Amino acid sequence: MKKYTTLLFDADNTLLDFDACEKEALKKTFEAYNCPLRDDMKKRYMEINHALWKSYEKGEISREEVIYTRFGKLFEEFGIPLDGVEFEDTYQDELGKSHELVEHAMDVILQLKQYHDLYIVTNGVSATQYSRLKDSGLDQHFKDIFVSEEVGYRKPMKEYFSYCFDKIGDLDKEKTLIIGDSLSSDIKGGNNAGIATCWYNPKKQKKTDDYHVTHEIEDLRELLELV
């Protein structure tokens, strides 16, 4: 008897190596504008971007405000005469071409799909996410893909998961598991939705008491025994 029948996977840094994709996309975009990407600029961009996405998760700002202000804020701080919105569009194009997978992701998915219903639940820009998932070959192995931009709600909102559950249909919440790397988005989202959670934690980060983690793994292959 399978413990879980429905598996909800986060995309970035759970299946897709977003850190590697982001690094490559940033490099190519800055090169396209003949603007050297110094280490201090990259560090500051990461800080600005992280803070904006956290505000988005809390419902304080829109997705559009995240993506269309981050480079503008960076350029203003560093006195760079570039248009942040235009730069963002180029960056999204480059990011959409990046689809490096997390180690063992494809092998694990191919095994799990034989006995489980697999879905992707992700925050982000729809066109970019669909492009990356298609180019990586992952998309064909999932029954559906739910991107926050299309859903109208975002992880960790309960409404986001209610929408997903309605679309999935005959779903047993007691046999549903969400797998993701983000405590504030994936694990909190699972807690809000009343389903079991699996924290993918390859960097061995410390967990706070703010979240209930049902399972914790450091390697995706551990899922094969877990579910």
CA distance 217 to 186: 14
84-96 and 126-136 helices cross at what angle (nearest 10)? 20
What is the C-alpha R_g of the chain? 18
Secondary structure letter of residue 207 according to DSSP: P
CA distance 121 to 219: 20
CA distance 200 to 227: 14
Strand partners, 120: 9, 145
> E-assigned strands of the chain?
6-9, 117-122, 144-147, 176-180, 196-200, 215-217
Classify 179 in phi/psi space as left (phi over 0), alpha (psi -120 to 50) or beta: beta
10: annotated active-site residue: yes
CA distance 111 to 2: 14
CA distance 182 to 165: 20
Could you give the angle at the alpha carbon of 77 between the alpha carbons of 52 and 22, nearest 5°? 50
| CB distance 186 to 13 below 8 Å | no
Active site residues: 10
